[in-house]
Structure 1
């Protein structure tokens, strides 16, 4: 028996890239997987890959910013696969590049809406199901700009910082009832999102650092985040609930450092110790 046997995992944005790798790894660990995204052909391909490896999965086309659609998707998942144990919010958008006066405000806001509102909708739909059983784990993917400035990616950065804080608030609300939330930064992964940044004129103009990072060999394999999230789903990092874990982390070293991280209140959005003392 594998360590996620008899569990049900939901992976949003699971039709390609990091999300597909996460979904595949959840299935390899024994979970039944619901793969959500808008593009039917992509999520059906992910399901086909899972089934080809002997796993069980369903594809559900869902617009993550439509709360009713998300709620209906989660109801379908529970009916088809069983009660949801693991939610992984991987969906994301980053199309608004440049200083805010050059960005199309609708594109800028669309990034925030997909990333933050979509994550809120999924958490809001899943958490009551988990709380009713006093168990569950939610993983929200964050990224560039979560804990630092990202001047020409302000919409994406603002949404990811907000998701980090949402994760902390959610965990502090639910952890006493057995439901834990985590934030994961997968690192710089070559994906459809980064390819658009590399190829578009706006991306070349405002985000040249992305190409330089790839040129310098910074290219994290999506399997690293997928393996980390499988560990989270299996409970290995429960001590770090409410905190940030990274795809580049050495998972064994991270497991050894958990108590020290909590003692230092690390991997969280906080004022500095000096500023905290003044509050």
Structure 2
């Protein structure tokens, strides 16, 4: 397996709040310069202040992840100002109404799929060529265990998360020998505006600590678990140490990939 240098720069989508904000700040504290992408410039500036307070460069990118032209322009600016994008974290995402498929609004359903699938596709499509030209890089999709099994409600969300597994797997299969590493990362259930609004999580007390998610992303960024490219990892279950142990014992890819059993 060819060595790929540890990431020095990152682009995080959905960086204005929630998990994305935590990841951007955590990566900065780990020594990375960070490009921050979302639609709300004011909130992004707040995240940027924290990145700069950690002594790292921050680039604020205001864009809708479903707008191809805006994404291309944002990636070009990130690469121009940071010199590279070594790590892409596709975090931006939304959820649909918690109702059965036949009760959902078709336009709202499709808009969720667009944000959660078209968005990561467009970002990855724009970022990966530069990574390959520089000898490699890493892509992390913030995924969910709901993409691995059937749920009665919020079907646009579950469909989109299953699709991300196929995107990540395709990146691994096509790009691994050229230095591309791809990971599907479930953050567990972190308390955010989105999870707090969901009926599914009413009364929940066992929230995932965002620090656990940050620790996994930093471990991936440093290249410590590149042998797990193409695989699914989950905060709250996996830890940096447990992932390193998997690498040491030679994990079979099929153990952590979406397959029919």
Bin for the TM-score computed over the shorter chain: over 0.9
- Match of 1:266, SS? helix
Q: 1:256 aligns with which of 245, 248, 259?
A: 245
CA offset digits 1:129-178 (Å, max 9, x no partner): 11111110010110142111121111100000100111001111111100
CA distance in 1, matches of 2:249, 2:162: 23
Q: Is the 8 A contact 1:15 1:46 kept in 2?
A: yes
TM-score of the superposition, structure 2-length normalised? 0.94
**Bigger Rg over Cα:** 1
Match of 1:191 in 2: 192
Give the match for residue 39 of structure 1.
40
Which residue of structure 2 lines up, in the alignment, with residue 25 of structure 1?
Answer: 26
Give structure 2 stretches of 5+ with no counterpart.
Answer: none
The 1:121–1:264 alpha-carbon spacing in structure 2 relative to 1, beyond 3 Å, is closer
The alignment partner of 2:150 has SS state of: coil
Q: CA RMSD of the aligned region, Å?
A: 1.6
CA contact (8 A) 1:13 1:90 kept: yes
Displacement, 1:96? 2.7
CA distance in 1, matches of 2:145, 2:240: 21
Q: 2:211 pairs with 223, 228, 234, which one?
A: 223
Distance in 2 between the 1:232 and 1:166 partners? 18
Contact 1:50 1:56 in 2 (8 A): yes
Q: CA deviation at 1:6?
A: 7.3
Could you say which residue in structure 1 is the equivalent of 2:222? 234
Q: Where in structure 1 are there 5+ consecutive unaligned residues?
A: 198-206, 273-279
- How far does residue 101 in structure 1 lie from its aligned partner after superposition? 1.5
Q: Which runs of structure 2 are paired with 1:94-113 in the superposition (5 Å)?
A: 94-113=95-114
CA contact 2:196–2:202 (8 Å) conserved in 1: no
Where does residue 211 of structure 1 map in the other structure? 202
Task: Provide the C-alpha distance between the structure 1 equivalents of 2:119 and 2:46, rounded to a whole number of angstroms.
Answer: 23
Count of aligned positions: 256
Distance 1:186 1:236, change over 3 A: same
Task: Measure the CA separation in 2 of the matches of 1:63 and 1:92.
Answer: 11
Q: Is the 8 A contact 1:6 1:30 kept in 2?
A: no
TM superposition shift of 1:264: 6.3
For residues 53 and 178 of structure 1, the distance between their equivalents in structure 2, rounded to whole angstroms, comes to 29
TM-score, L = length of structure 1: 0.88
**CA offsets per residue over residues 164-218 of structure 1, 9 Å max, x none?**
1110011111111001111100001110111222xxxxxxxxx4x3224x1xx32
Work out the CA distance in 1 between the residues paired with 2:224 and 2:145: 25
